[in-house]
Amino acid sequence: MSEEIQSLRQQINEVDEQLAELFDRRMTISKGVALYKKEHNLPIFDKEREQQVLARVVEAYPHRDQAFHKSLVTFFQTVMDLSKESQKQWITDQVAIGYYGVPGSFSNEALECFFGTDGVYKSYRTFEEEFQALAEGEIRYGVFPIENSTTGIISEVYDLLAAYDFYIVREGSLRIEQNLLGLPGATLEEITEVYSHAQGFAQSAEFFSGHPNWTLIPFYSTAKSAERVAKEQDPRKACVAGKKAAKLHGLEILQAGIQDNSQNFTRFVVISPNMEVPTGANKISLYFTLEHKPGSLFAALEEISKRGLNMLKIESRPIKGQIWEYSFFVDLEGNVDDPSVADALRMARQHCIDWKILGNYALKPAGSLSSQ
């Protein structure tokens, strides 16, 4: 063997020793992270953090080619996967996270985008049940749909936010493609009944207007609708659901993308009993009620407007037991630790009866959640 190859291999051995030392150091630090997560009831998987790590290492080598970047990403992804596996061993009791619906639902898909595919997840039949599970400590976080770009807000979730002392800690939006699913080999001409959650029908109204002879049957959820069609094995029955539900239940997509709006997104939020304000939080959600008199809403919002804060959204909801009186939900840009923002909130609060900061978290664009 030539001295040249021996010299090169010796250099590799030295680099490998350095890598092993650095890997040992990283895993030791990772154990500290695991203990912190356990103490603060945080999930092991943090998708945003992993994406930041991968982006940073690629940006550190701007002049290297795409093949190098691909290998670099694979290397660091493997290291992070090993770190997560070790953290699971150090954390004996994983944090439980809840979602509405069943496997294959859009809520389940959003959950996995937020927290990964290997956590301890619990499904609930209703939003109320999921909120109650949070209140009883059965789960640490709950994932909820809160708004659709076509059909508007999920009013029940807003009402529950008003009723419970919980907080929004994260948000993200998922592109929603509604599909008509049926048994393998079924045709549109055979269909007589279609099952779906009301949202699925509402988001696909134009498509169904072209099939007036079909009976549309509201059901618990789109994923549950797929489960029912698969179970009944009747080619005359179809459902509205996503591709994940089709794959899960062995159904065929009879017509893809039947939603009216191609830019159809649902915004999901992660809700916790504890307020968490991450670094870079730039969106604030508020809930308040006002005196039932002229100018009360204007007075509260003026305090926000005249201090230059950008209001992103306002919604009103009827107050239970008070006819024609309303509570308000407002989203605005800002961070609660910013003195000017804190001043605006303090002044606005003086015009309100009830007042809650529902969360301060990172504002996310449409399509920020992706399972791919």
The residues assigned a catalytic role are 266, 268
The CA distance from 38 to 93, in Å, is 8
Q: Is the dihedral of CA 342, 155, 317, 158 positive or negative?
A: negative
Q: Is 25 annotated as a binding residue?
A: no
The CA distance from 344 to 350, in Å, is 10
Q: Is 50 annotated as a binding residue?
A: yes
CA 94 to chain CA mean position, Å: 19
The CA distance from 252 to 254, in Å, is 6
Q: Is the dihedral of CA 26, 28, 31, 32 positive or negative?
A: negative
Lay out the sheet containing 311-318: strands in order across. Answer: 311-318, 326-333, 283-290, 352-361
Q: Is 81 annotated as a binding residue?
A: no
- Structural contact between residues 130 and 98, judged by C-beta atoms closer than 8 angstroms: yes
Residue 265: strand pairing partners: 175
Q: Is 48 annotated as a binding residue?
A: no
Q: Is 107 annotated as a binding residue?
A: no
Q: Is 371 annotated as a binding residue?
A: no
Q: Is 170 annotated as a binding residue?
A: no
Question: Which residues are annotated binding-site positions for substrate?
Answer: 9, 26, 37, 46, 50, 83, 87
